[in-house]
Amino acid sequence: MDKIYLNKLQFYGYHGVMPEENKLGQRFIVDLILELDLTKAGQSDDLNETVNYAEVYQIVKSIVEGKPSKLIEHLAEQLAAALLKSFSKIDFCTVKITKPDPPIPGCYESVAVEIRRGR
């Protein structure tokens, strides 16, 4: 299966279990792998035969910067469902959400969740 990668999309959201996360917000980094057949797009050079990256970005932005979720697992599920619903050409999508600097003592870099969903 062919793949489109959208790497290190960065957003500011208010997701988390802790009250300060919901009040102050924080950065979230989203990586996507969209699996679909790119043969026609490669042969025709026609945007209609693939997935428009700008449209993908806008969907992800609206969800990550929208209504807060307690868990990034929930946020990842929302993203996968929205992308599969919005783009019929996508067979599978992998969504990775990284939460830099989580409020966990001793965690000095990040935590992340990655899911893969398909039709």
Active-site annotation holds for 67: no
Q: In angstroms, rounded to a whole number, what is the distance separating the alpha carbons of residues 43 and 23?
A: 49
Token reading at 49: 């035969």
Question: DSSP class of residue 49?
Answer: G
Helix (H) / strand (E) containing 38: none
Judge contact between 64 and 11, C-beta under 8 A. Answer: yes
Of the candidates 61, 89, 96, 99, the residue annotated as catalytic is 99
| Cα dihedral sign, 38-39-43-47 | negative
Catalytic residues: 99
